[in-house]
Structure 1
Amino acid sequence: MRIVVAPDSFKGTIDAAEAAEALAAGWRSVRSADEVRCVPMADGGEGTLSAIVSAGPGARLFDVPDVTGPDGRPVPGHFALLPDGSVVVELAVASGLPLLGGELRPLTATTRGTGETIAAALDAGASRLLIGLGGSASTDGGFGLLSALGGRLLDEAGQEIPDAESDLDAALELAVSFDRSRLRSAPPGGVVLLTDVTNPLLGERGAAAVYGPQKGAGEPELPLLERRLTRLAELLGGDPSHPGAGAAGGTGYGLLAGWGAVVEPGAPAVARLLGLPGLLASADLLITGEGRYDATSLQGKAVGEVVRLADAAGVPAAVVAGESDAPEVLTLSSLAGSSSAARSEPARWLRRAGAALAERSAEATG
């Protein structure tokens, strides 16, 4: 048999590449003669870069030392160069919420480090950019990112407002225009934003109202963030109602309006980059999984996309999850006896899940 193992990460416990290897090891422990191919998946959010470097044909990881983290402290940046010259950047790597270590900064967190990573990718000759938006720590509308690429706020005298990022709200009050004259050009192949978020920039479904609380914004901060994004939209123009403009604290909007980016659903784009449709065309079984499988899993997420591709190829799919109420899903919590036991040793129970699926397959064919 030919098996494709393509899970998403089991968030908070194990990443997609490690989950795939554990499931594959479990399968091989029972059916060692089968051909098992690991293709860790992602949907454009956290783990996208790792998945592409692990399974993308010919992908190479480049380091960008000491880019600006969301709180201003230096963090390591990375991007992946693909054989066709395209570059993949994951916003969460340099500007992600986990980098704050629990000390959330709803008003001051910045996306500058992602902009610095993109600048390094442009210096390396990127022909096209694919930017995974997800896990953002900030609600700066992508201003930090655009600033790192040369964008500036100007006052009524036509002078650059210094240190605009350190007090963005005060700078926006003084600004009369956003200057693009020094903004670096987008690569010739364009800029694609990978996200499953369809929220606009502003309003009750916007970046501040929906995602601000996840980044530490309470009732006093939310109106300030909404006003910030509204003012940024007045200066940048474009369409703040565009689906996906609210992604990553408005970074989607900043890149749409400031750099001419386009939005694509993340999971299908990642699947194409990894060659998953071609692999499934000759497969006998797909194994996928994630931490929590529920009704939303089939709505634009990585697991839903790989199941859809398997259905299109006529390949049966098995789903493994940390937890799920769906009776057809094999859960780690049931194998381990409890959710806490499963979370404490995810690789162990993923190997057991892979073995259990292989045993079922052997029984069905024997």
Structure 2
Amino acid sequence: MQAAWPRRVVVAPDSFKGSASAREVAEAIARGLSRAMPGLSVETVPMADGGEGTVEALVEATGGRYVTETVTGPLGEPVEARFGMLGDGQTAVIEMAAASGLPLVPASRRNPLVTTTYGTGQLMRAALDAGATRILIGIGGSATVDGGAGMAQALGARLLDDEGQPIDFGGGALHRLARIDLSSIDPRLRSTTILVACDVRNPLVGPEGAAAVFGPQKGATPAMVRTLDDNLRHLAAVIRRDLGVDVADLAGAGAAGGLGAGLVAFCGARLQPGVELVIQAVGLERRLQGADLAVTGEGSLDRQTPFGKTPAGVGRLARRLGIPAIALVGAIGEGVDDAVLDACGLDSVFSIVPGPMPLDEAIRGAHRLLEQAAWRLGRWLSRRPPRTEVAAHELP
């Protein structure tokens, strides 16, 4: 008699925003599968796509630790922010929003002419102090449009005006920049690999740039947008002249109000899709080796999921390795069809909600709904023929 299939499952979901962390989602799915299939080998790998929850997912997945620092917030006031040191003891993971994020600024005080990324630079310096030789930075959710100038200043870069004095914080001061002096920048940066989770392709300046596209959500009026775009264009020109790096039209340079550009120019960082960065950091390819099935998930799967979301990253990797993949999600968006699932590398997707239910009730009950959905999936799997007799497209 052939052994039952699957024997080993890797559960690699993102968080369900507002309901459950990636770790909690993974554990709920694992409980449901194990209840349906006693003896099943289940490995949980909390995931993220570089946005909110990335630090927690990577620390949990690698057995790392958290470090909390008091840094300069986007308005220049002190804030408590934390970053993660991963289990290898050499990799730090930072969410810039922890130090320079929009939720740290009351709606009535949102003004990207004055908000700064200085605190993000302080977290980077703290990571270097903690022994990091590799820094992963998620740059979503910023309150800033300063082109990463504050971040650079925190790391020792001197951004000087015509009189040789440091310029003020904020995107509104960039027009005063006359010269960049990196002689005092932290020397440890030269031997540190900096990878940036960046899922937007926007350039630094122009109609698709940092100010025009992202400035209004950070409090910029139309007049402010014009000022900020001009100032970022000036910053790019000085960077090109003094540092020999052209960031004006670089895809992704406009992310986080131009922080993408600043990290490339001042720190030699590389921009890459967030979910790919996380997949590498947690060693997901190695963990999938020998698995019979991958189960992923997120709060919602829709037509945007193929563009950098966790289920697509996990599904594509699983497909490349010849492993079927299924997603358990809170909601399946309108228009999800064969093309969307194929683009995500997924064999199928199931909603964890068994019937009509108020949204707040589904959010409150996410842990229970996830476990029940995984149990139903496990019962179906346990009654199928062995994997050798089941083609991937025959999954439900």
Q: TM-score with structure 1 length normalisation?
A: 0.90
**Paired letter, 2:212:** A
Which structure is larger by alpha-carbon Rg, 1 or 2? 2
Tell whether 2:353 aligns with 1:348. Answer: no
Task: Using the TM superposition, name which of 313-322 and 190-199 deviates more.
Answer: 190-199
Q: Which residue of 2 aligns with 1:19?
A: 25
2:73 pairs with 57, 69, 74, which one? 69
Checking the alignment, whether the CA contact within 8 Å between 1:63 and 1:78 is kept in structure 2 is yes
**Paired letter, 1:198:** R
**Paired letter, 1:133:** I
Task: Using the TM superposition, name which of 269-278 and 90-99 deviates more.
Answer: 90-99
Structure 2: unaligned runs, 5 residues or longer: 1-6, 338-347, 387-396
**CA distance in structure 2 between the partners assigned to 1:346 and 1:110 by the alignment:** 37
Q: Which residue of 1 aligns with 2:40?
A: 34
**CA distance in structure 2 between the partners assigned to 1:50 and 1:344 by the alignment:** 21
Checking the alignment, whether the CA contact within 8 Å between 1:140 and 1:249 is kept in structure 2 is yes
Tell whether 2:125 aligns with 1:119. Answer: yes
Structure 1: unaligned runs, 5 residues or longer: none
**CA distance in structure 1 between the partners assigned to 2:159 and 2:34 by the alignment:** 58
Checking the alignment, whether the CA contact within 8 Å between 1:140 and 1:250 is kept in structure 2 is yes
CA apart distance, 1:80:
1.6
Instruction: After TM superposition, list the pairs within 5 Å mapping 1:302-317 onto structure 2.
Output: 302-317=310-325
**CA distance in structure 1 between the partners assigned to 2:291 and 2:107 by the alignment:** 43
Q: Which residue of 2 aligns with 1:131?
A: 137
Tell whether 2:362 aligns with 1:339. Answer: no
Tell whether 2:295 aligns with 1:295. Answer: no
Instruction: State the Cα deviation string for residues 92-135 of structure 1 (Å, max 9, x = none).
Output: 22222333365562423322221111101112232222222222
- After superposition, the Cα gap between the structure-2 partners of 1:26 and 1:220, relative to the gap in structure 1 and judged at 3 Å, is farther
2:284 pairs with 276, 289, 300, which one? 276
Task: Using the TM superposition, name which of 5-14 and 82-91 deviates more.
Answer: 82-91
**CA distance in structure 2 between the partners assigned to 1:191 and 1:276 by the alignment:** 20
Checking the alignment, whether the CA contact within 8 Å between 2:13 and 2:47 is kept in structure 1 is yes
Checking the alignment, whether the CA contact within 8 Å between 1:126 and 1:187 is kept in structure 2 is no
- After superposition, the Cα gap between the structure-2 partners of 1:101 and 1:331, relative to the gap in structure 1 and judged at 3 Å, is farther
Checking the alignment, whether the CA contact within 8 Å between 1:105 and 1:138 is kept in structure 2 is no
**Paired letter, 2:286:** G
2:205 pairs with 202, 207, 210, which one? 202
Checking the alignment, whether the CA contact within 8 Å between 1:293 and 1:321 is kept in structure 2 is yes
2:156 is paired with a residue whose SS is coil
**Paired letter, 1:233:** A
CA apart distance, 1:30:
2.0
Indicate the percent of aligned positions where both proteins have the same amino acid.
Answer: 41
**Paired letter, 2:140:** G
Q: TM-score with structure 2 length normalisation?
A: 0.84
Instruction: After TM superposition, list the pairs within 5 Å mapping 1:147-226 onto structure 2.
Output: 147-161=153-167, 164-165=168-169, 168-169=171-172, 171-185=173-187, 186-226=189-229
**CA distance in structure 1 between the partners assigned to 2:18 and 2:143 by the alignment:** 17
Checking the alignment, whether the CA contact within 8 Å between 2:45 and 2:61 is kept in structure 1 is yes
CA apart distance, 1:336:
6.1
Aligned length: 360
- After superposition, the Cα gap between the structure-2 partners of 1:101 and 1:175, relative to the gap in structure 1 and judged at 3 Å, is closer
Q: Which residue of 2 aligns with 1:109?
A: 115
**Paired letter, 1:105:** R
Instruction: State the Cα deviation string for residues 29-76 of structure 1 (Å, max 9, x = none).
Output: 2223211111111122221111111112xx532413211222323123
Checking the alignment, whether the CA contact within 8 Å between 1:155 and 1:177 is kept in structure 2 is yes
CA apart distance, 1:12:
3.1
**CA distance in structure 2 between the partners assigned to 1:40 and 1:104 by the alignment:** 35
- After superposition, the Cα gap between the structure-2 partners of 1:304 and 1:101, relative to the gap in structure 1 and judged at 3 Å, is farther
Instruction: State the Cα deviation string for residues 325-353 of structure 1 (Å, max 9, x = none).
Output: 43742113445634332123222211222
Instruction: State the Cα deviation string for residues 154-202 of structure 1 (Å, max 9, x = none).
Output: 12222334xx11x552x33333112222221314143221222221111
Checking the alignment, whether the CA contact within 8 Å between 2:89 and 2:131 is kept in structure 1 is no
**Paired letter, 1:243:** A
Checking the alignment, whether the CA contact within 8 Å between 1:141 and 1:229 is kept in structure 2 is yes
**CA distance in structure 2 between the partners assigned to 1:93 and 1:250 by the alignment:** 17
CA apart distance, 1:227:
2.3
**CA distance in structure 2 between the partners assigned to 1:216 and 1:24 by the alignment:** 43
Checking the alignment, whether the CA contact within 8 Å between 1:132 and 1:193 is kept in structure 2 is yes
Q: Which residue of 1 aligns with 2:61?
A: 55
1:244 is paired with a residue whose SS is coil
**CA distance in structure 2 between the partners assigned to 1:290 and 1:213 by the alignment:** 28
**CA distance in structure 1 between the partners assigned to 2:206 and 2:331 by the alignment:** 34
